[in-house]
Amino acid sequence: MLLRYRYRIYPTAPQRQSLARSFGCARVVYNDAVAARKHAHREGLPYPATTALSKALITDAKHTTERAWLSEVSAVVLQQALADADRAYKNFFASIKGKRAGSRIGPPRFKKRSNTQSIRFTRNARFAVLGNGRLHLPKIGNLKVAWSRDLPSAPSSVTIIKTPTGRYYASFVVLVDDGAELAEPIPDEDAETGIDLGLKSFAVLRGGKVIDSPKFFRKLERKLKKAQRALSRKTKGSANRAKARIKVAKIHEKIKHTRADWVDKQVHRIVAENQGIYVEDLHVKGLAKSRMSKSTADAAFGMFLTRLESKAARTGRTFVRVDRYFPSTRSCSACGALTGPKGLKGLKVRTWVCECGAEHDRDANAEINIRREGKRLVAAGQADT
């Protein structure tokens, strides 16, 4: 399987200038490719092939006065920008034909100069990790890398990313054996859990174990509002506005990194302690459009479920998504009757008593039902594990 390994890099001032030049050239080639295909569509001409665009927008363009500066950067960077434009159009065509999963996407748009920029080098570019730990990139130089861990194999590509706060990262794509991260099976039959996600508590696991919601955005929301107000008062184009923008970006980045680190730790703990993991297949996009959208986005349910599923697959754990319409909250875990709270008013009900006499905690009861349904799906062969 292919995995990404990301590291912080520290380019020198001349290297930052070279990277800025590469970011700009890649953006221009991408926009030229989109413009050429938009022109062909308007004029009723055949769809331009990638090879024809490569010759016209890169090879021939380097010999013109308007685009002579394209020769100052690696040709692989420009080719990858062209490949990104081609992939964007293929995804668009697949979407309108119904061949692409997910919601409908629109046609590719022109890229604007933004505060997040990236370029990609493949093996054809002959990038290399040197013996002294530096990363060699053609026409940029040898970059200092903060190696937090070793790469498991030789990388097939590396993406250089500049964040809105001005930090630089190198993201390597490496091939890892499918069994490289397999964990020892847990023989204990009780080493499995259902996971009931919510906003009051982030998750409830087997035995009533609760993972509290960290609310990363809520904790820094006041500080963020203050920084955004200060930014809005600065004159556009001024140095003070640039400084204020970075302050806002740093708060956003702190929220993002803290949340991602917390999610990774929760995922690692759950996978290490359980052989079977059963979760409810939440409609995250739908929740993001509800009146609870801010809390839903802050909880990052989508990130948590995606990383949990990936980690479970790599370590050999059983992972099952229970249908989102399964009545886990309303069902009594003792008798199976649908006597639990329902509707929006039911969200306020935390405990309830079934007609059979069983008293339930709302979330703990849902976890039991999700776990049972997940095990049933596995036994019936109806779940991808």
User: What are 225-243's pLDDT values in tens digits?
Assistant: 999 999 999 999 999 999 9
Average predicted confidence (pLDDT) for the chain: 92
Q: What is the pLDDT of residue 342?
A: 80
Q: What is the pLDDT of residue 384?
A: 62
- Is the separation of the CB atoms in 162 and 19 below 8 Å? yes
Beta-ladder partners of 168 = 9, 162
Among residues 58, 36, 16, 317, which one has the least CA distance to residue 195? 317
Measured in residues, the chain has a length of: 385
Q: What is the pLDDT of residue 348?
A: 76
User: Rounded to whole angstroms, what are the CA distances from 19 to 73, 129, 165?
Assistant: 9, 18, 15
Token pair listed for 129: 């990790």
Angle between helices 13-43 and 75-96 (to 10 degrees): 40
- Is the separation of the CB atoms in 313 and 384 below 8 Å? no
Beta-ladder partners of 278 = 194, 320
Alpha-carbon torsion, ordered 111, 112, 116, 119, to 10 deg: 50
The b-or-e profile of 294-312 (16+ CB within 10 A means b, else e) is ebbebbbbeebbebbbebb
Alpha-carbon torsion, ordered 64, 68, 70, 73, to 10 deg: 150
Token pair listed for 147: 């190696």
Token pair listed for 99: 């061949």
What is the model's pTM? 0.88
Q: Say how far residue 95 (Cα) sits from the centre of its chain.
A: 20
Instruction: Tell me which residues are annotated as active site.
Output: 196, 280, 363
Q: What is the pLDDT of residue 130?
A: 95
Token pair listed for 336: 């199976």
Q: What is the pLDDT of residue 36?
A: 96
Token pair listed for 125: 């570019």
Alpha-carbon distance of 231 to 135, in angstroms, equals 36
Q: What is the pLDDT of residue 145?
A: 97
The most distant pair of C-alpha atoms in the chain lies apart, rounded to whole Å, by: 84
Three-class secondary structure assignment of the chain = CEEEEEEEEECCHHHHHHHHHHHHHHHHHHHHHHHHHHHHHHHCCCCCCHHHHHHHHHHCHHHCCCCHHHHHCCHHHHHHHHHHHHHHHHHHHHHHCCCCCCCCCCCCCCCCCCCCEEEEEEHHHCCEECCCCCEEECCCEEEEEECCCCCCCCCCEEEEEECCCCCEEEEEEEECCCCCCCCCCCCCCCCEEEEEECCCEEEECHHHCEEECCCHHHHHHHHHHHHHHHHHCCCCCCHHHHHHHHHHHHHHHHHHHHHHHHHHHHHHHHHHHCCEEEEECCCHHHHHCCCCHHHHHHHCHHHHHHHHHHHHHHHCCEEEEECCCCCCCCECCCCCCECCCCCCHHHHCCEEECCCCCEEEHHHHHHHHHHHHHHHHHHCCCCCC
Q: What is the pLDDT of residue 96?
A: 92
CB atoms within 10 A of CB 229: 10
The pairing of strands 351-353 and 359-361 is antiparallel
Residue ranges and CATH numbers for the domains of the chain are 2-175 (no CATH), 192-379 (3.30.420)
Residues of the chain short of pLDDT 50, as ranges, are: none
